Amino acid sequence: MTLDDVTMIAAFFGGLGLFLYGMKLMSAGLQKFAGDKMQHMMGVLTNNRFMGLLVGGLVTMIIQSSGATSVMVIGMVNAGIMSLAQSVGVIMGANIGTTATAWIVSATQLGDTFAVFKPSFFAPILVGAGAIMALFGRGVKSRAIGELLIAVGILFTGLTWMSDAVKPYQDSPVFVRAITLLGANPFLGILVGFAVTCIMQSSSASIGVLQALAMDGMITGNIAVYICLGACIGSCTTALISSVGSTNNGKRVAVINLLFNVIGVIIFGILISIVFMAVPELAEMKMNAVKIAVFHSSFKLVNAIVLFPMGNMLVKLANRIVRDKPEPGEEEMDEMALRLDERLLQSPSFAIEMTVGEVVEMGRRAGENVQNALDALIHYDYSRLGSVFAREKEINRYQDALTEYLVRISNLSLSSSQNTMVKNLLYAISDIERVGDHAENIAEYAEKMKEEDIRFSEMAVKELTEMSQIVMRNYDWSLQAVASGNKGMIQDITDYEEVVDAMELELRDRHVERLSRGECRVESGAIFLDIISNLERIADHAMNIVEYVQDFN
């Protein structure tokens, strides 16, 4: 091996690194633009499989990886926000959407006709323009566009390096023999495509490398076809690995993805081999980046059309392969841990959306705890005290889990609005935890009343009931605002919070008058004043929670 050979290998390796890094940056940039739209895409995932196909395709075009989309789908099925039947359409759409990268790469082929489309010409311009926008842009969007331009420029620079590195070897006897061997043996070609994709964990990346080689006329039709088919199967490994440790339905999603691709590869592999034998010219035809993109997209699209009506059959096959036998400890799996699935971190938007639901669930449990504590206090239903103290520990666990998950989200590539939303959700969690603490305070007062046989006067009970109803209604509204993002509720909650503040002052004055007239015991009077103070603080926390909604999208 000569020094020139070492230099070319290093150039190819460096080009591959730039290409993969450019893909990663481009995915992050696209998510920043489309993140808020992706957050609402799951709303259309009803039992309409066609809509699922469209969503799967669009999401995969944005994140540039069908494997990543499949991993997210496993997380969503695990979390219970998507059924197994719904996942079929999304999986098929993801396999179509992953072909978008090949079309982006194929744009370099225009350089054969127009010099300005050569990567060597426009990639430096993209990087330069992007750097100026990223460094000196005034707005967040301007800087995000700059980062996206830099990513595309890096991607195409990597392609140029890879193509230039292999160009001197296109007539090498070793390369010719290797190409002939791959073309003559379909199984070997599929195996190579499978192995390379498994190593790269991305069919988009392996197809991109194939297109880079094809730019110098080194790839024939039979090689391109078989490697593409192998890459399709290799793309399933990411989801299969991710499904380990998931629920049975999560494993079935990975199996459906594998079945979809394997069945397609078997059918099309046989048909294409017959065509190549009948028309040898097609097998020996020189391929370029555009032709590879055309075949890749055509195969995925036709495969989806053929298997789309058989979606229920794929679900049944997956159910047969993954039986409904409980796995060790599955019956004891933490439901919240399942919903806050790390697989959803593949897309910050979906992870944030799931976290919003869990924050609302934490708030609902804290609200139930306050109500149970009030029932114990006002109606002397002391049987509820045990559940209040137990649930307070549960609320604290919720706070720890949600905080940790949101911190992980904050370390991802987020848009400005997503960063604000994550920050506000952390604030909301803190306020909800304080509501839980007030529930515990009220329960402790109820426990003291039980031990010392203390009772409120009828008027005190009436006033506490009236105030607690207003406070709890306000608190419930604040959770509804978080769940729906309805900013129109903010004013209503603000108005009632002012009513609560005024009521606390009025009830204090009334109670002091009753104490002065001897209508209430001093012990019950002190507890009464502490309780209305706790209720007023709960109303304040409800106000804080709903104010965070103002920054929601």
Helix crossing, 248-278 with 289-307: angle to 10°? 120
CATH number of 347-551: 1.20.58.220
pLDDT under 50 in the chain at which residues? 114-115, 327-333
Looking at the DSSP bridge assignments, the partners of residue 449 are none
pLDDT reported for residue 211: 84
Alpha carbons within 13 A on the beta-carbon side of 284 = 7
Cα–Cα distance for residue pair 283/54, rounded to 1 Å? 33
pLDDT reported for residue 203: 81
The residue ranges of DSSP E strands in 20-101, in sequence order, are: none
The CA-based dihedral angle spanning residues 540, 541, 545, 550, taken in that order and rounded to the nearest 10 degrees: 20
User: 5-14 long-range contacts, Cβ below 8 Å, gap at least 24?
Assistant: 8/165, 8/166, 8/168, 8/169, 9/165, 11/161, 11/162, 11/164, 11/165, 12/161, 12/162, 12/165, 12/166, 14/158, 14/161
The answer to whether the CB of 545 falls within 8 A of the CB of 428 is: yes
Provide the sign of the torsion angle of the four alpha carbons 319, 320, 324, 329, taken in this order. Answer: negative
Cα–Cα distance for residue pair 193/228, rounded to 1 Å? 6
Would you state the structure tokens that stand for residue 342, as one six-digit string?
A: 């790390």
CA angle (195, 199, 204) in 5-degree steps: 90
Would you state the structure tokens that stand for residue 82, as one six-digit string?
A: 């998507």
Domain boundaries, the chain: 3-321, 347-551
For the chain, how big is the Rg over CA atoms in Å?
31
Amino acid at 277: M
Give the number of other CB atoms < 10 A from CB of residue 174: 8
pLDDT reported for residue 330: 42
pLDDT reported for residue 337: 58
DSSP state of 98: T
pLDDT reported for residue 471: 93
Alpha carbons within 13 A on the beta-carbon side of 237 = 16
Looking at the DSSP bridge assignments, the partners of residue 516 are none
Render 521-541 in DSSP notation, one character per residue. Answer: -HHHHHHHHHHHHHHHHHHHH
Cα–Cα distance for residue pair 363/355, rounded to 1 Å? 12
